[in-house]
Amino acid sequence: MTEKIELKIKRISEEFSDIPLPSYATRGSAGMDVRAAVDVDFILPAGQVRMVPTNISTEIPEGYELQARPRSGLAAKNSVGLLNSPGTIDSDFRGEIKIIMFNFGSEDFVIKRGDRIAQLVMAKYYTAKITEVDALADTQRGEGGFGHSGIN
């Protein structure tokens, strides 16, 4: 059984009250589907980035974040994804959530009113206690960077 954390959601405008609030598609879904709040068909041009409004703002409990993540069906079938993914929505942010979408495909993609455009995942986070030091403990890897272990 997963822990339930209260997420308060506010609609920004009643103009989009017909669009469902974020919701889980199935009992085992980690992410809530979030929908486009657009008046008319929204064109996401091939190779372009656009911010898509959702008409919602949230009150996330302190110690948690919402992560905006791509929907696998949009990626696999339409070459549409999210930039800055996962995108963090901080607990102290109260503005409208907008989804930064990118069309990786070669054809324009049409987003209609109420289309599911991303998923939101509630995640716990920890804040770090920053300590400046003169040296760090040695490890087997050391300063080995990208590709340091080779290709096997």
Show the domain range for 13: 8-124
Residue 140 included in any domain: no
Residue 65 included in any domain: yes
Residue 118 included in any domain: yes
Quickly state the pLDDT bin for 30 (edges 50, 70, 90): very high
Quickly state the pLDDT bin for 28 (edges 50, 70, 90): very high
Residue 73 included in any domain: yes
Residue 99 included in any domain: yes
Q: How far apart are CA 71 and CA 143, in angstroms?
A: 35
Residue 132 included in any domain: no
Determine contact, residues 66/122, Cβ cutoff 8 Å: yes
Determine contact, residues 48/134, Cβ cutoff 8 Å: no
Structure tokens at 101: 């979408």
Q: How far apart are CA 15 and CA 149, in angstroms?
A: 55
- Maximum distance among all alpha carbons in the chain? 59
Residue 145 included in any domain: no
Residue 117 included in any domain: yes
Q: Is the pLDDT of residue 75 over 90?
A: yes
Q: What is the pTM of this model?
A: 0.89
Q: What percent of the chain has pLDDT over 90?
A: 88
3-class SS at 99? strand
| Overall number of domains in the chain | 1
Mean residue pLDDT of the chain comes to 95
Residue 24's CATH number = 2.70.40.10
Give me the helices (H) in 7-149, please: 72-78
- pLDDT by residue (tens digit) across 106-140? 999 999 999 999 999 999 999 999 999 999 999 98
Residue type present at position 105: G
